[in-house]
Amino acid sequence: MSKIIEVKDLCKTYVIDKRQNNVLRNVSFSVEEGDMVAIMGPSGSGKSTLLYSVSGMDIPTSGTVLFDGKDLTKLSQNELSQVRLDEMGFIFQQMYMMKNLTIIDNIVLPATESKATGESKKEKYERARELMRKLSIIDVADNDINEVSGGQLQRACICRSMMNKPKLLFADEPTGALNRTSSLEVMEELVKLNEEGTAIMMVTHDSKVAARCKRVLYIVDGNIKGEYKAPEDEKLSVADKERRLNTWLMDLGW
């Protein structure tokens, strides 16, 4: 498979009160088409900073980020915004949605801003309904955002992230604000998307979530300390995969 994103010697430094804080230090890794990668590590290790720097939401201090052949570190802010809109999808722990719009209108919003798909308004709404049916939330299409559960709202965020058919989906603690049942339901949907071909890179502190991914990168003090590849044995249960991942994490000091 070809690499959809390649990160080389990525560094991110903040200057606070004239003191340098090196959050990322020469981080290098890649994500292939159809990959599903979890970023784990202790609090303050640089997980979210890595996600934001790789996705172009934050500007790295040095290093390169090649996304589908384009060096994001060389693009202007307008060019970055267009790449994020047309070629990337985003899911966050906090489920940001417009309060004055219905669920389906929120989902369609990114597609109305993009011309990349070449679809009519009617076609965009039909595809939104198709995504909502796939994620079992079509019955709340016309609801306001305060009329649905947290799990339904996060699934709506997943639908929204897929509207422009992204090459890579970024997720920052996508289950962090959900209860265990909703968390498992949302993770099931992300696994299905990945199985259908969508590459996913997510930050998580939850080993149950990370155990569903194909790879886990463990970051400490801005460096990738280790990489875990999930066993491909189909006979292994999710619980078995989680136990194996937890053993690996404990060996690294988790």
Q: 113-151, pLDDT tens digit by residue? A: 887 767 889 999 999 999 999 999 999 999 999 999 999
Distance (Å, rounded) from C-alpha 19 to C-alpha 103? Answer: 45
pLDDT at 76: 94
Three-state DSSP class for residue 159: helix
171-196 pLDDT, tens per residue?
A: 999 988 888 888 888 899 899 999 99
pLDDT at 56: 93
pLDDT at 48: 93
CATH topology of domain 3-251: Rossmann fold (3.40.50)
Confidence of residue 93 (pLDDT cuts 50, 70, 90): confident
15-59 pLDDT, tens per residue?
A: 888 888 889 999 999 999 999 999 999 998 999 999 999 999 999
pLDDT at 234 over 80: no
Average pLDDT over residues 82-103: 92
Three-state DSSP class for residue 5: strand
Q: In whole angstroms, how far apart are CA 150 and each of 79, 155, 182, 210, 228?
A: 33, 9, 8, 20, 31
Average pLDDT over residues 66-84: 94
Q: What percent of the chain has pLDDT over 70?
A: 99
List, as one string, the DSSP characters of 72-93.
Answer: GGGS-HHHHHHHHHHHEEEEES
Averaged pLDDT score across all residues of the chain: 92
Confidence of residue 254 (pLDDT cuts 50, 70, 90): confident
Domain ranges of the chain: 3-251
pLDDT at 123: 93
pLDDT at 19: 84
Average pLDDT over residues 108-117: 84
Confidence of residue 216 (pLDDT cuts 50, 70, 90): very high
Q: Which amino acid is at 214?
A: K
